[in-house]
Amino acid sequence: MVAVLTIEGLAKSFAGVRALDGVDVEVHEGEILGLVGPNGSGKTTLFNCVTGFVRPTAGTVLWKGRNITQLAPDQIARLGVVRTFQQKMVFPRATVRENVEMAWRGKRGGDTGQQFKSCDDLLDFLGLAHLKDRLATDIPFGSARNLGLGLALAANPRLLLLDEPAGGLNQDEGQELADLISKIKELGITVWVIEHDMPFIMSLCERIIVLHVGKRIAEGRPAEVANDPNVISVFLGEKFAKDSAT
C-alpha cells in the first residue's frame, strides 16, 4: 500500500476551540477511504486544512512526499488534490457544459493524465449530457450534485475529496452515486469521502476513519470499525441525543 497523502499531527483551533486535535491519516493510492463522525467532529475542517482553505494551527500535510501545508487552495488543486463542497457546488449562472469547461484542466505539458477526452465525454460519464445547455441553477438537485462532482473531475484530480456527496439524496440516487464513485475509482483516482449515511459508506469504502471532537478514534475496515466499542458509544450517544431532542 503506497500512501499518497500523509497527514501528521494536524490541529486547528477557532477562537480557542479545538476543531482538530492532532489528527494523523494516511490515504493509500487507489482506495476509497471513508471519513465519518458526528456533527462538529471536524470532518469538513480536516478537508479544509488538506485543501488549503483553512491554515492549520499545527501539523503537516504531505502529498506524494511534498509538504503542501502552506500552499494556497488553487496550487494544491493543480497538484491533483481536488475537493467538492456540500453547498454552492456549481457555477449557477452558466450552462452545465460551461461549468465543466470552466473547471477543465486538460493540457498540462504533454502527458496530462486527464481521464476524459473532452468535456462532452465527461458529461456523458456523469449522465448529464441531456442537460448540457441548461443553466446550472435550473437543474434538479441530484444532477447539480453530479455536476459538482464533474467539476472536480474536470480539474484532473489524482485524489478526490468528497464532502458529504450523498447528503439530501434519496436511496436510489444514493445508489447511483455509489456506482459513480466506484467507476471513478476504476479510472485510477483515489477517493476520500465524508459521509453521514452509514449504509452508504459501509458498502462503498474499503477503509474508514472515525473522527470525534477533532480526534481520530478508530480506523479500519468497515466491519471492524462498526464493532469498535469507542465508535459504538459515540454514535449511540449521538442517536440518544437526537431521540431526546425530538
Sign of the dihedral through C-alpha 52, 58, 63, 68: positive
Considering only residues 32, 36, 68, 91, which one is a binding residue for other proteins as defined by CB under 8 A?
91
Q: CA–CA separation, 88 vs 92, rounded Å?
A: 8
Question: C-alpha 124: how far from its chain's center?
Answer: 22
Helix (H, G, I), strand (E, B) or coil at 73: helix
Stretch that binds other proteins, among 35-43, 96-104, 215-223, 235-243 (CB under 8 A): 96-104
Stretch that binds other proteins, among 82-90, 183-191, 221-229, 233-241 (CB under 8 A): 82-90
By CB under 8 A, is residue 178 in contact with other proteins?
A: no
Q: CA–CA separation, 71 vs 196, rounded Å?
A: 29
Determine the size of the site formed for other proteins (CB under 8 A): 31
Angle at 195 between CA 243 and CA 189, to 5 degrees: 170
By CB under 8 A, is residue 155 in contact with other proteins?
A: yes
By CB under 8 A, is residue 64 in contact with other proteins?
A: no
By CB under 8 A, is residue 88 in contact with other proteins?
A: yes
By CB under 8 A, is residue 86 in contact with other proteins?
A: no
Q: CA–CA separation, 8 vs 22, rounded Å?
A: 7
Considering only residues 18, 28, 64, 105, which one is a binding residue for other proteins as defined by CB under 8 A?
105
Helix (H, G, I), strand (E, B) or coil at 37: coil
Binding site for other proteins (CB under 8 A): 51, 53, 72-74, 77-78, 82-85, 88-95, 97-98, 101-103, 105, 133, 135, 151-152, 154-155
